[in-house]
C-alpha cells in the first residue's frame, strides 16, 4: 500500500512519522503528492495529481481519500490503532466534512514545510 501525502503539510508529515513508527511489518510505502512517483502511481490507475490535495491511500487498484484513507491506515496498523477505525460507524458525509475542515486549516494549525521529509537510511526504501 502506498500513502501519498502533501509534502508541504506539517500534519501530513506527522501522519507519515506516525505510520513509520507504528508499522513494524512495513506494509506502507510513501511519496509526497508533489513528486513524480505520486504522479506515476496515480497515472497507473488512470488518475492525475490535480484530483488530490491531501492524504491518498493506494491499496492495490483501490484509491481511498480523506477519512476513508485515514481509517483504513489505522485499521491496517493493527491494535491498538485499529480501535480508532471505529470511525467507520459515522456517516461518510460527516467524516469527510470533519476531515475537510481540518484539511482546509492544516497549514495554519500545523505549519507549512519547505520540503519533504528526508527519510533515515533505514526508512529510505519505504519512500518511492
Domain count, the chain: 1
Determine, yes or no, domain membership for 103: yes
* 120 has pLDDT over 70: no
Determine, yes or no, domain membership for 112: yes
pTM score of the predicted model? 0.83
**pLDDT confidence of residue 115:** 57
Determine, yes or no, domain membership for 127: no
Looking up cell 491506515 gives 73
Determine, yes or no, domain membership for 89: yes
pLDDT tens across 47-67, in order? 998 888 889 999 999 999 999
Determine, yes or no, domain membership for 128: no
pLDDT tens across 2-51, in order? 999 988 878 888 899 899 999 989 999 999 998 999 999 999 999 998 88
Q: Which domain holds residue 107?
A: 2-122
99 burial (CB, 10 Å; 0-12 / 13-18 / 19+) is buried
**pLDDT confidence of residue 114:** 67
Determine, yes or no, domain membership for 101: yes
Q: Report the alpha-carbon distance of residue 2 to residue 16 in Å, rounded.
A: 11
| E-only strand ranges, the chain | 2-5, 29-32, 56-59, 62-65
Amino acid at each position: 500500500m502506498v500513502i501519498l501525502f502533501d509534502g508541504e503539510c506539517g500534519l501530513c508529515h506527522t501522519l507519515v512519522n506516525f505510520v513509520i513508527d507504528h508499522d513494524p511489518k512495513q506494509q506502507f510505502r510513501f511519496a509526497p503528492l508533489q513528486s513524480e512517483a505520486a504522479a506515476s502511481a496515480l497515472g497507473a490507475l488512470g488518475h492525475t495529481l490535480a484530483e488530490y490535495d491531501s492524504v491518498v491511500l493506494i491499496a492495490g487498484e483501490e484509491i481511498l481519500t480523506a477519512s476513508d484513507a485515514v481509517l483504513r491506515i489505522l485499521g491496517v496498523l493493527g491494535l491498538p490503532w485499529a480501535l480508532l477505525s471505529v470511525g467507520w460507524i459515522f456517516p461518510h458525509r460527516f467524516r469527510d466534512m470533519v476531515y475537510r475542515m481540518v484539511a482546509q486549516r492544516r497549514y495554519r494549525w500545523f505549519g507549512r514545510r519547505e520540503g519533504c521529509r528526508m527519510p533515515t537510511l533505514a526508512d529510505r526504501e519505504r519512500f518511492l
